Each structure stands twice: as structure tokens, then as C-alpha cells.
Structure 1
Amino acid sequence: MSKISNCLRMIELLHARGKMKISELAQELDVKERMVRNYKEDLEKAGIYVEGEKGRDGGYSLSQASFFPTRKLQESELSALIFAVQQLLAKEVAQAETAQVALDKLRAAQCKEQEQNRYIHFVQRSKPNRLQSGESKKYMQLQEALASRRKVQIVYRNSSSYKKRIICPYGFVYYNDFFYCAAFCESKQELRTFKVVRIEQVDVLQERYTIPATFDIRKEWPSLGIMRNEVLHVKLHISPPFSQSVPESIWGENQSVQYNDDGSILFEAVMKGRQSVKKWILSMGASVSVIEPIELKEEIIEEHMKVLRAYGIVVKET
């Protein structure tokens, strides 16, 4: 295999199996151990960080925040995998090597998706079009720093002041149309959130850092201060066509749906993020009415009144 192919295969192996000894990688790639070390250096030059751990239980492992795309499963590999499984009881091993490659790719794809979820969390179900956003370049710089575990010096705008900070990006939250970077702030010595749109400058440094193995942005983000006192017990009456699509997703905790004979539903859930909840309800137009909480119902009514006034329609309040 070519050097490029071996580098790609090495990425897949580390994605799929986690930490591997240099000797194990050399055997899988059918090369000498010094070549594996060369591959590691080449990958790091390309911005793909391979962590090395010395000692009896040491080895190489791919950075858990690496967003390098694994290659798609080829038809021939899938056929080989099916063949190997079918022949397992008969001890047929002729296709075992190709099947192992296919299995590794499947595991790599699964692991990659799971790991990405640990570091990037979309509170809203829609994802931003970063190509149309002024935050795009800064976001991508921060994401690359996270993937390679490199510290970042930022200039952050807070009210009317600008401050330089050195941060270690831990993950990202997309909430209410904005990206937030959860990062360890060296000056404050604690985990903080930085609204990406307020970051005026990003300089990726050479110094590296580590992220606690237990860190998961999906569990941490509610305590990061991005939204405060925004837990709502929502009760809605939803009519077709949204009464058919809403139950297909989980929108909040303790979600329950009661189906009515006319095709409508009574929806209840504990939801987080007042602005996100309002935006979701407004997107359903006249197909939804808020039952609880009363203050949210009043806010939705006021939003609809603003729409009517924007079209020159005056509605007398009762």
C-alpha cells in the first residue's frame, strides 16, 4: 500500500480500536515500526494529532476531538463482511482480512459520530449555515484548535472592553442562533463560555493541552450559564399537519403525547431555552395554541399581534 493509504488506514484503525501499540499498528499495516512513527509525524503536520503514551500499557491513540472523515465503506468490503459472518460457523477465513477492514470502518464511523457529539452540541435542531456567517473563520479556527489540542489566544469583546485571554477549547454549543465556545480560561482558572461572535481575534498557539476524559458537552452545557432560569413545563394543543410530525422527535424531558379523534394532539414536555421554545412554537403558525404556561401563551399572542400590526391590521384587545 502507498504511504497515503497507510496513513488513512492508520487513522481508521485508531478510530475503531482506540489505543494501539506501535507493534500492533506495524503488523496491521505490514511495515516496520519506524514507519509507523513516520506516519504519526506526517499526520501531525497535516493537523491530525496522534497522542503517544509511553510505558507498558502505552501506545498511539487518535485525538478524541479529531473530525477527520473516515472513508466510506465500499461495496466489495460490505460483501466480504456479509460473507465472513455467514461463514463464521463453518470456520471460513478466506475473506477475514477484508472483513476486518470493513468492520473497522463501520466502528470508526460510529465512534467518530459519538465523539463529535461529546464536543459539539446543537440545542436547536437546525444547524447554522456557517458559510453565510461572519463567525465562520473564527469558529473553524477554534474547532481546529480543539481537534489538535492547541491553546488559543483570543481578543474578547465584553460590553465596551476588549481583553486578551488564553483559552483551551473544550467544545461548542449552538443555541439561539449563536455558537458558544466552552473553554478553560487560564486567567480565571475555570471553565467559561465565550460567544464566538464576540471573539475579535483568534491566534492558535503551539502549546498543547488535555481535556478531562469524562468531559461531555451534552452534560455540561446546562451549567455553563448560556441560559438561565429557562426551564419551561410546556403544554400545547397541536393540529395537523404538525400533529403528525411533532411526535416523531423528542423535544424535551418527560414528553407525553395524547392523541385526539380529530387528528390533533395534546403535547406536554419539560423544555429548556425560552427563546428556542418560542421560535419552535411560532414556526407552527396557527396549528398550535399554548395552554401552559400562561406567561408563554401571552408572549406568543403578542408576537402574533406584532405580525398583524406589521401588515397594518389593527386588532382590538378584549
Structure 2
Amino acid sequence: MNKTDRMLAIVLELQRKGTLRAEDLAATFETSTRTIYRDIQALSESGVPILGAPGWGYSLMEGYFLPPVSFTAEEAVALLVGTDFVEKKFDSAYGQRARGARGKIEAILPDGVRKDAERARSAIRLIADEETGAGPEEKRRLEALRGAILEGRKVRFRYSAGMAGPGGGGRQSVRVVSPYGLVLTQGFWMLVGYCELRREIRHFRLSRMDELTTLEERFRLPDGFDMQGYAAPDDRNVRVRLLADPGLADRLKEKGTFYMESVEEREDGLLVTCRVRRPEELLGWILGWGADVVVLEPESLRERIREEIEKWRRRY
């Protein structure tokens, strides 16, 4: 980054974050504090009202605001693809705002940059939820949960554990939850919140919810809870071992499961090791491979596979 770009970036960083020390700026822009001191002096001499003192940090004088800056084609593509993602993966309210933001971004781009951005963006396609199996109902749940989180209200819903394989229904229960946050992982939206039934923080897939209702009762986040830094405890204590056909090696890498820990090549095939809370969590995934994947252990899962195969035999 040259000096001119760095000085502009310093002003934007101060405008965005408030007071920053020279050490903070030096770490951000990967340069020395001496260089930051010189940049701050040059900015002050050019008329940018920067306040600061040794040991305290630098900030912009209250009321000073840098006008909008121009975007490169690459920056414009990043922003426009971001609005595409929000429109397709978030609820309708955010989708509408994403479309509005996209229009504003395109309106301020010079013709040359806009055309370059359009060419690059046309080569990137995001598959909509409807095309991947998730319907508009999940987006309505997402919007309702987002509102409940912002308002600090509890929610109630009927939840399916989703444990059963083909021909069966998952266990259902009614949950009252204090919603802490939403996570998009592996293409699925998950709710993180305190479950009053289980009396602990649990995760719920939105696609398995039904009869979602926002309650009048309010909740407060636990002291010190940080959704961005939250990491769920790993309670997958059951080991499942599978033997897969060697020809599945590439497909296992592409279509593996969250529960898969390792794939080891052996003379008789691929030894796949998974860790789960309950063996039934892998039932549908295993059945999807047909006879190319055999369960070695636990025996309870082998028996469950036999039961499902017998159901299939009777139906066909």
C-alpha cells in the first residue's frame, strides 16, 4: 500500500472506530509506528482535523466526516456479490434492503467501473434457497427469529429432532427458547439459544421448526456472552466406524458430513470414522450411499440399518 492510499485508509479507520493508538494503526497497516506518526503529521498539515496525544491515541475532531470514496471494479464486485448473497440467503426484509443497497452502489459507479463489475459479477452465480430445497417458509422463520433476537423476546416452536431415516419421522417436542443468535453453516440456518426444556444452550435447525411463535416474555443475554466468539461444546461422544468402497474417496471429500473425523485407506476399502451424539444422526447419510458403505460399529446402528432395509424390502 502506497503512502497516499495508507493515509486515506487511516482517516477511514479513525472515522469508523473512533480513537486508535499509533500501535493499533501500525498493526492494521503492517508498518512501523514511526511511519504512522509521519502520516498523521502529513494529514494534519493537509487540513484533516486529527486530535491526539502520546499514550492516548488519535481521533477525528467531532463533526468531521470524509465524503464517500470511489470503488475499484474489484471492490464493487465484492459489494454487489455481497448484496446478492444477502438477498438470496436472508429473509425478505433484508433482501429488500440488499436490493436497495445494490441500486445505490451501482448508481455511484463510473461507467467504466460499472461495466467491469457487471462482467465479473455475471460470471458468479449464487444458487437461491428455492433451488436447493429450502422454501420461503424458512425465510419467514428467519425474519421472525431475527426480530425476536433484536427485541429480546422468547420464542416457542415445535421441533423435530430429525433423527429418523427414510420412512420415519423424527421425535418432536415443544421448545421455549431465549434466542441468542443465528448462524449460517454448511448452507443451513441454525438458531443458538437457551432451551428451557433442556436447561442449557442448544442449537436448532430452522428447517426443522414448526408453529414458530414470538412470545411477550423477554429475556436477557447472560453476562459475558459473545455470539461472535461463542463456540459450542463438543459433546459428540459416540464413535461410528464405516467401511466405504475405495471409489468413493473423492465423493466423500465433496459430500462428507459434519460428523466425519477421518478417512483411512485400507486394503479392503476406506475406513471412515465419525463422532456423533446418537448413532441415528448418521442414518440418512449412510443409507444414501447404498451398499457402497457398510457400518462396522456400533452394533445398534447396524441393527437400525437392517430394520430400514427390511422396510424397503417390504415396500418393494
TM-score by length of 1: 0.44
Query: TM-score of the superposition, structure 2-length normalised?
Result: 0.44
Larger Rg: 2
